[in-house]
């Protein structure tokens, strides 16, 4: 890639901002600058990042990218990984029930729609994201098991929302697990993501209070020379075998069918959320060759130990000169393969996290594991049970928090998320 000069002079977005009529906010304008911004992103984003000082970087596809709030499915499920994320669970306030919950989801949906369009929050905007475009912001809402008793909707609670079983690697903090309501926020800009988190918290008002909240991150778009599968904090390429929307059975595995039960979950999905602490000091003491045996893939490029590239099918029967399996029998990649778990599949869409360093120097870091499936009893549960029985990675991780949430389908124009449940 050769460097080209990018003038520090005015960008198309700057010019458009000057032409805006009075009363139109710069954030709202930039949020709709897709025509110029996307062209620049497609043709010149790499150049801009390579040559322009940070203060002169124009609004490129990174800022102008926009996810749609209304649709068949909620945003934040099949969208690509985002650089910054917040997970937050709420419990309904004492005395709040179905009526208050409906009003809250209506407010939240209105707020999400505006913020995802790059517009200010509808009430008391803080101006944190005033100068930014939408930055691919997504806001996703779900209901926990306890929500249905709190709102008198027990008969509408899905069987798939039954509590997850206990697992041997669990060291769960109940205060940071579950919740009546769950919100996932992701964006490619940290301020845009925080702005959304603050707006959602404020709109909760007296109807709900925060139960727990976690912050995550991924690699920023454009940080690698070409698109790559993300790496986790162990340095491993993570997500190679994720199901893809182009797969013939993708919708069947990830989303509740339109004629599924209960009816209000049509086109929805179930999110399993696990805070998984990585014991990085222990992991980093292993030689790379031993790390690769634990995972079953090369650390450098994610290729299976049986050979090939990252996307090459793993040969589970291949042996070395001594007759030993090249991919160890307890390797994480072997155990988690769908064809080793009765076809169980889930769409993994995690964030890494780092919450400081303990007094003994141990980093509090790991994975905010989020996986999506049409039925967790046929997706997450059988895979985790098998991992429990002999995954080589288990001695290097600890599950510290857990949640399971029913995430209804997307809201149609004029609807709010969960309306078919709360007003059906």
> Does the structure show a pLDDT above 80 at 170?
yes
- Cα dihedral 223, 224, 226, 227, rounded to 10, equals -70
Mean pLDDT, the chain, integer: 88
The average pLDDT across 174-199 equals 98
The pLDDT of residue 17:
42
The confidence score (pLDDT) of residue 37 equals 36
- Report the C-alpha gap between 48 and 26 in whole angstroms: 21
Which of these, 131, 139, 138, lies nearest to 33 by C-alpha position?
131
Higher pLDDT among residues 22 and 104, named by residue = 104
What is the mean pLDDT of the segment spanning 175-191?
Answer: 98
Q: Report the alpha-carbon distance of residue 63 to residue 132 in Å, rounded.
A: 7
Domain-wise residue ranges, the chain:
85-424
Which residue bears the tokens 């009075």? 22
Active-site positions read 238
What's the whole-number mean pLDDT along residues 34-59?
38
Taking residues 46-53, report their average pLDDT. 34
- pLDDT at 52 exceeding the cut of 60: no
* Residue 113 Rama label (left phi>0; alpha psi -120 to 50; beta): alpha
Q: Which residue has the higher pLDDT, 338 or 151?
A: 151
Rg (CA), the chain: 23
Q: What is the pLDDT of residues 281-331, one digit of tens each?
A: 999 999 999 999 999 999 999 999 999 999 999 999 999 999 999 999 999
Residues 6+ apart with CB under 8 A from 290: none
Whether 223 has a pLDDT exceeding 60, the answer reads yes
Average pLDDT over every residue of 89-108 = 98
pLDDT digits (tens, 9 = 90+) for 329-374: 999 999 998 777 777 889 999 999 999 999 999 999 999 999 999 9
The confidence score (pLDDT) of residue 167 equals 94
- In the predicted structure, residue 109 carries a pLDDT above the cut 90: yes
- Residue 187: its pLDDT value, please? 98
pLDDT at 110: 98
Residue 417 corresponds to which tokens in the numbers above? 């998320």
The Cα 24–Cα 16 span in angstroms is: 11
- pTM (two decimals): 0.86
Given a cut of 50, whether residue 32 has pLDDT beyond it is: no
Averaged pLDDT, 74-88: 97
């Amino acid at each position: 890639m050769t460097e080209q000069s990018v003038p520090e002079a005015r960008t198309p977005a700057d010019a458009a901002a000057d032409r805006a009529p009075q009363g139109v906010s710069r954030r709202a304008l930039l949020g709709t600058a897709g025509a110029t911004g996307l062209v620049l992103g497609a043709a010149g984003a790499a150049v801009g990042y390579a040559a322009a000082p940070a203060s002169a970087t124009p609004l490129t596809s990174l800022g102008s990218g926009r996810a749609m709030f209304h649709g068949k499915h909620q945003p934040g499920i099949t969208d690509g990984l985002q650089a910054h994320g917040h997970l937050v669970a709420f419990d309904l306030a004492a005395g709040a029930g179905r009526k208050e919950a409906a009003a809250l989801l209506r407010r939240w949906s209105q707020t999400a729609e505006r913020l995802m369009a790059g517009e200010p929050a509808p009430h008391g905007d803080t101006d944190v994201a005033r100068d930014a475009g939408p930055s691919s912001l997504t806001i996703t809402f779900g209901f926990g098991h306890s929500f249905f008793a709190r709102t008198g909707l027990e008969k509408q609670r899905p069987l798939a929302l039954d509590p997850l079983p206990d697992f041997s690697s669990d060291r769960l903090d109940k205060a940071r697990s579950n919740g009546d309501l769950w919100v996932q926020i992701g964006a490619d800009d940290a301020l845009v993501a925080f702005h959304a988190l603050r707006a959602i918290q404020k709109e909760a008002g007296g109807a709900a209070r925060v139960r727990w909240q976690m912050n995550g991150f991924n690699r920023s778009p454009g940080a690698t020379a070409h698109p790559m599968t993300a790496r986790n904090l162990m340095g491993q390429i993570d997500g190679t075998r994720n199901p893809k929307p182009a797969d013939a059975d993708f919708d069947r595995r990830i989303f509740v069918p339109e004629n599924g039960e209960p009816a209000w979950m049509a086109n929805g999905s179930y999110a399993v959320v696990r805070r998984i602490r990585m014991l990085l000091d222990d992991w980093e003491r292993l030689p790379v060759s031993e790390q690769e045996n634990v995972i079953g893939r090369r650390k450098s490029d994610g290729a299976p130990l049986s050979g090939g590239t990252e996307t090459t099918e793993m040969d589970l029967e291949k042996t070395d000169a001594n007759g030993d399996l090249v991919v160890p029998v307890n390797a994480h990649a072997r155990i988690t393969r769908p064809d080793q778990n009765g076809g169980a599949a889930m769409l993994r869409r995690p964030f890494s996290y780092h919450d400081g360093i303990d007094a003994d120097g141990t980093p509090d870091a790991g994975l905010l594991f989020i996986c999506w499936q049409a039925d967790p009893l046929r997706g997450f549960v059988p895979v985790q049970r098998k991992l429990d029985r002999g995954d080589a990675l288990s001695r290097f991780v600890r599950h510290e928090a857990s949640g399971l949430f029913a995430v209804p389908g997307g809201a149609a124009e004029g609807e709010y998320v969960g309306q078919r449940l709360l007003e059906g």
